[in-house]
Amino acid sequence: MKLAVIGTGYVGLVAGAGFADFGNDVHCVDVDESKIARLSRGEVPIYEPGLDALIASNAKAGRLTFSTDVAAAVRGAEVVIIAVGTPPAADGSADLSAVFAVAETIGKNMNGYKVVVTKSTVPVGTADRIQQIIGRVTKEPFGVASNPEFLKEGAAIEDFMKPDRVVIGSNDARALEVLRRLYSAFVRTNDRIHAMDARSAELTKYAANAMLATRISFMNDLAVLSEKLGADIERVRKAVGADPRIGPKFLFPGVGFGGSCFPKDISALIHTAEGVGHELAVVRAAEEVNKRQKQLLGDKIRRHFDGALEGRTVAVWGLAFKPQTDDIREAPALVLIDMLLEAGAKVRAHDPAAMDNVRALVGDRVTFTETMYQATEGADALALVTEWHEYRQPDFNRIKGLMRTPALFDGRNVWDPKDLRSLGFKYTGIGRP
Ligand code: NAD
């Protein structure tokens, strides 16, 4: 099939390369000229494991091309996939200006039947609005469909190529048929396509993210309680997750969730519910708990030094909102760094992939170090924020020798408190003694 993918971010690039890999002709377009220039030179502007090889092989085979010409991409495609950003607006709703601008361009460049697909996460009712926007400027036939994306950054290729479900929603039978054909190669072993109306598809994406965010906030809230009660949340987590009705995933207490999806999506869902006079009490609580949780590590460090952080040095390991990505949108590390700098501390930070992105944001207010050990040199505390593999079993003897005072703040409960205390560290985790 001939596809146009509009928006070459985390989702658009992975989807574009993934569809091309199954033999489709994919033209990826973006308004960001520097991004397209880099992609055309064979560079991949984001860190996502496996993506560079997938892009390189498909570009070489001529199935994957890049440009800034949205109009031409639309004219050459049977299926037009919208994968632009839907960032939060000031009132917490999703900012749909890019989606609607693209819809207008699609409408103006229609030349025969096309399926217009939103892969961006968009509020319920957006497919109807896209239908109206395109319908106002063209007489050509078209179908609008919602095809929310469930990939996880860091494992995006695997998720996209072997999806555990493909949700397609449309009120146009022909559009659903085209999408079934497009995805048939991805679900050959087991038909995991969920076809439905567009509104249900749009709501499915928000429901999934709100459920996962709620699980995390639930455990974070219990971790705070666990600490007050002298229980160990890690033991509780494992035993609770052993119940097959509950399962072990997304129960890890930590520093709060960040990323480009959960925070903005739950906020947009709350906003959507308010618009129809419904208060989503559970999701609102998940959001509140998360805001509080992102302050927790900074509060613990401040308390440890009796509120006096002036002149102290804190090493921060992990800046990306999770391992295996360079994405720092809503990252808990940014909240911690702000708290530390505000309190007068010096911050020495390390991350395997996200340092350039944070540097662009905070400049030289933070010292970025080449190695993780350099970050701990002269530090009064070391805070683990993102649990990259290399931070899991570091050489603690070496760290002890490098730090000024050996205080560890384990925001992900990945280190062993007993071992570390016996090495002479002061250990503080989340919800554990
Ligand atoms: P991103 O910010 O990485 O990429 C969006 C891209 O769209 C940018 O390159 C931007 O330049 C481009 N763009 C903006 N306006 C445009 C326009 N008018 N025409 C052409 N291009 C335009 O965003 P992302 O993380 O890829 O997310 C895209 C959408 O997918 C969002 O709605 C997001 O919620 C959703 N989503 C993201 C993930 C994820 O893990 N990142 C997962 C599932 C769904």
Catalytic residue among 124, 261, 296, 354: 261
Any idea what the Cα angle at residue 353 is, between residues 359 and 376, rounded to 5°? Answer: 70
**β pairing state of 346-350 and 142-146:** unpaired
Indicate if 261 belongs to the active site: yes
Which residues on neighbouring strands pair with residue 426, listed in sequence order? 407
421 C-alpha to ligand 1 centroid (Å): 45
Q: What residue segments make up the domains of the chain, in order of their start?
A: 2-196, 206-293, 296-428
Residue with the nearest Cα to atom 14 of ligand 1? 84
- Give pLDDT tens digits for 180-211: 999 999 998 888 999 999 999 999 999 999 99
- The position carrying tokens 């998940």 is 286
pLDDT in the model for residue 190? 80
pLDDT in the model for residue 191? 85
Query: 295 exposed, middle or buried (CB, 10 Å; 0-12, 13-18, 19+)?
Result: middle
35 C-alpha to ligand 1 centroid (Å): 13
Phi, psi of 25 (to 5 degrees): -90, 115
Q: Which ranges of the chain have pLDDT less than 70? A: none
Indicate the fold that domain 206-293 takes in CATH.
Answer: N-(1-d-carboxylethyl)-l-norvaline Dehydrogenase; domain 2 (1.10.1040)
Sign of the dihedral through C-alpha 88, 179, 144, 200: negative
CA end-to-end span of the chain, whole Å?
57
16 C-alpha to ligand 1 centroid (Å): 13
Q: Which amino acid belongs to residue 342?
A: E
Distance from C-alpha of 399 to C-alpha of 376, rounded to nearest angstrom: 7
Do 206-293 and 296-428 show the same overall fold? no
Indicate the fold that domain 2-196 takes in CATH.
Answer: Rossmann fold (3.40.50)
Three-state secondary structure call for residue 86: coil
Distance from C-alpha of 401 to C-alpha of 422, rounded to nearest angstrom: 15
Distance from C-alpha of 50 to C-alpha of 13, rounded to nearest angstrom: 12
Pocket of ligand 1 (CB under 6 A): 6-12, 30-32, 35, 70, 83-86, 98, 101-102, 120-121, 149, 151, 153, 260-261
pLDDT in the model for residue 188? 85
- Give pLDDT tens digits for 320-329: 999 999 999 9
Lateral strand order in the sheet of 25-29: 64-67, 25-29, 2-6, 79-82, 114-118, 142-146, 166-170, 193-196
11, 66, 130, 152, best to mutate for ligand 1 pocket (most atoms within 8 Å of CB): 11
Distance from C-alpha of 188 to C-alpha of 86, rounded to nearest angstrom: 31
Q: Which helix (H) or strand (E) holds 233?
A: helix 233-241
341 C-alpha to ligand 1 centroid (Å): 31
The stretches of 316-412 forming alpha helices (DSSP H) are: 332-342, 355-362, 372-376, 396-402
Note whether 71 and 109 are within 8 A (CB): yes
Distance from C-alpha of 140 to C-alpha of 383, rounded to nearest angstrom: 58
Distance from C-alpha of 99 to C-alpha of 132, rounded to nearest angstrom: 13
Three-state secondary structure call for residue 286: helix
The CATH classification of domain 296-428, taken from the options 3.30.930.10, 3.40.47.40, 3.40.630.30, 3.40.50.720? 3.40.50.720
